[in-house]
C-alpha cells in the first residue's frame, strides 16, 4: 500500500509501498479516505520536533473500516470513522477523571512494528500514520461518522477542528461575554475563532501578518482584526480592549507569539498555548504578570482537551446544522503523490487547510 515516507528532516517525502500486519484483537484496519495537511506534521519534517525515522506522518484522518480484530465491538466493517490521535486507556487517573487526552498509557498504545517498509519495522506516527492508503489503529481511536458528513470534513474534525474549538469549550470553558484574541489564523486559529463565536465571546480579535488570513478570520467570526505587520500587535489588542482580553490563544507554535499572548491577557486573564512550541526551548515570562499584581496565567491546550468519543460527535452534529464551518476550511484537495506540493503551499501561507484525498 502506498504511503508518503519521511526519511530525514528537511527532505521531501517519498512515495513507497509499505506493509501493514493483520489486525490483532483490539485493532482496526482502515481504508483511508482523507488526511489533512496539518502544520504539526511539518514540525517533524522541519526537525523542530523529533520522532524515529523513517516514518509515515499524517494524523488528521478519516476512513472506512475494512477489517476488525476479534475483540472489537465499537465499529464494524463498512463504518465510516474519524481516527483520533489519542487512544485513551479508560483506566488511568487522567482517563477516569475526564482528561483522556492526557492518558498516561496513550504512548504505549502507539504500537511499534505493525507497519513495515522493505521488511524493516516503522513507528506508527500518532498511532495511525495516515499518509497511507490503509491504517492499522487501536479501536479506541475510532469515532463513527454520521450520515451527511463528508470524509474530508470528518478528517478535519480529527485534528484542527477538535483542537481549535476544544481549546475554547473544553480547556478554558469560555463564558458568554468574555473576550479573546487569537494569534495565528491558520487551520487551528480559524477553529478557535469559530469556537469562541459558538461559546458567545463578545470580542474575538484575530491577529495575523497575512491579509488573506485576516479576511478568513472575519468570515469565521472574528469581530476585529489586527494586522501584526503594521505595528505592535500587543499594543493594538490591549488598546482596543482597555487593558487586554480574558483569553489570548497562541495558534502558531512560536515563543515570541506565546509571550505576546501572555502580554495580551488582561489582569486575571490567561494565555492559552495551542501551537506546538519548540520542544527543547524555555519560555520566559514577566513574573509581575503572574504574581499578586496580575494574577495572570498561562495554560497549554493539547488536542482541545478532547474526550474524543463525546466531543467529535457533537462537532459533526454542529457541522450538519451548519453552525460550524468546515467545508470553508478546505482550500485545496490533493492526491497522495502531490503531498510535497501540498506542504509547500502550507509553508507559503497560501491555504487554510488542504486535504489529501485517497
Ligand atoms: Zn494536526
Ligand atoms: Zn488512560
- The whole-number pLDDT of residue 172 equals 98
For the residues of 104-143, what is the DSSP string, one character each? TTTGGGS-EEEEEETTEEEEBGGGT--SBSEEEEEGGGEE
Which residue in 319, 101, 306 sits closest to 194, CA to CA? 319
What's the Cα-to-Cα distance from 218 to each of 112, 210, 214, rounded to whole Å? 43, 13, 6
Decide yes or no: CATH 3.90.180.10 for domain 2-158+305-357: yes
Q: What is the 3-state secondary structure (H, E, C) of 188-230?
A: HHHHHHHHHHHHCCCEEEEEECCHHHHHHHHHCCCCEEEEHHH
- The residue behind cell 469559530 is 194
Catalytic residue among 132, 159, 185, 261: 159
261 is a catalytic site residue: no
Instruction: Give distance in angstroms: CA of 65 to centre of ligand 1.
Output: 22
129 is a catalytic site residue: no
CATH number of 173-300: 3.40.50.720
- The whole-number pLDDT of residue 203 equals 98
pTM of the model: 0.96
Catalytic residue among 38, 103, 132, 185: 38
**Splitting the chain (358 residues) into consecutive groups of 10 residues, what average pLDDT does each group show?**
97 97 94 96 91 94 98 98 92 94 78 86 92 95 97 98 98 98 96 98 97 96 97 97 98 97 97 92 90 90 96 98 96 97 91 92
Whole-angstrom Cα distance, residue 225 to residue 243?
Answer: 17
Instruction: Give distance in angstroms: CA of 137 to centre of ligand 2.
Output: 17
43 is a catalytic site residue: yes
Boundaries of every domain in the chain? 2-158+305-357, 173-300
Packing angle, helices 211-219 and 187-199, rounded to 10: 30
- The whole-number pLDDT of residue 107 equals 65
Measured from the Cβ of residue 97, the count of other Cβ atoms closer than 10 Å reads 9
39 is a catalytic site residue: no
What's the Cα-to-Cα distance from 151 to each of 3, 190, 337, rounded to whole Å? 19, 20, 19
59 is a catalytic site residue: yes
Amino acid at each position: 500500500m502506498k504511503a508518503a515516507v519521511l526519511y530525514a528532516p528537511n527532505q521531501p517525502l517519498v512515495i513507497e509501498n509499505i506493509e501493514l500486519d493483520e489486525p490483532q484483537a483490539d485493532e482496526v484496519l482502515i481504508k483511508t479516505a482523507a488526511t489533512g495537511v496539518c502544520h504539526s506534521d511539518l514540525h517533524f519534517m522541519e526537525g523542530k520536533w523529533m520522532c524515529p525515522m523513517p516514518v509515515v506522518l499524517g494524523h488528521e484522518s478519516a476512513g472506512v473500516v475494512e477489517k476488525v480484530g476479534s475483540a472489537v465491538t465499537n465499529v464494524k466493517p463498512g463504518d465510516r470513522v474519524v481516527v483520533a490521535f489519542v487512544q485513551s486507556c479508560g483506566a488511568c487517573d487522567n482517563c477516569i477523571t475526564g482528561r483522556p487526552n492526557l492518558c498516561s498509557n496513550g504512548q504505549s498504545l502507539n504500537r511499534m512494528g505493525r507497519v513495515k517498509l522493505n521488511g524493516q519495522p516503522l513507528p506508527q506516527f500518532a498511532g495511525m500514520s495516515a499518509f497511507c492508503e490503509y491504517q492499522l489503529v487501536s479501536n479506541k481511536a475510532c469515532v463513527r461518522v454520521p450520515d451527511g458528513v463528508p470524509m474530508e470534513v470528518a478528517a478535519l474534525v480529527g485534528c484542527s477542528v477538535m483542537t481549535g474549538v476544544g481549546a475554547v469549550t473544553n480547556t478554558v470553558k469560555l463564558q458568554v461575554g468574555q473576550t479573546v484574541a487569537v494569534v495565528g489564523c491558520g487551520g487551528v486559529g480559524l477553529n478557535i475563532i469559530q469556537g469562541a463565536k459558538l461559546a458567545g465571546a463578545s470580542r474575538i480579535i484575530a491577529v495575523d501578518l497575512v491579509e488573506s488570513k485576516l479576511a478568513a478570520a472575519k468570515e469565521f467570526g472574528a469581530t476585529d482584526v489586527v494586522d501584526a505587520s503594521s505595528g505592535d500587535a500587543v499594543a493594538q489588542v490591549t488598546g482596543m480592549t482597555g487593558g487586554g482580553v480574558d483569553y489570548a490563544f497562541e495558534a502558531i507554535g512560536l515563543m515570541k507569539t506565546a509571550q505576546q499572548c501572555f502580554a495580551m491577557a488582561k489582569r486575571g486573564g490567561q494565555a492559552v498555548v495551542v501551537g506546538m512550541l519548540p520542544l527543547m526551548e524555555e519560555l520566559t515570562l514577566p513574573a509581575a504578570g503572574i504574581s499578586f499584581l496580575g494574577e495572570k496565567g498561562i495554560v497549554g491546550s493539547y488536542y482541545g482537551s478532547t474526550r474524543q468519543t463525546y466531543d467529535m460527535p457533537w462537532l459533526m452534529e454542529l457541522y450538519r446544522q451548519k453552525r460550524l464551518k468546515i467545508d470553508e476550511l478546505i482550500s485545496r484537495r490533493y492526491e497522495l503523490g502531490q503531498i510535497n506540493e501540498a506542504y509547500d503551499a502550507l509553508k507559503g501561507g497560501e491555504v487554510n487547510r488542504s486535504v489529501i484525498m485517497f
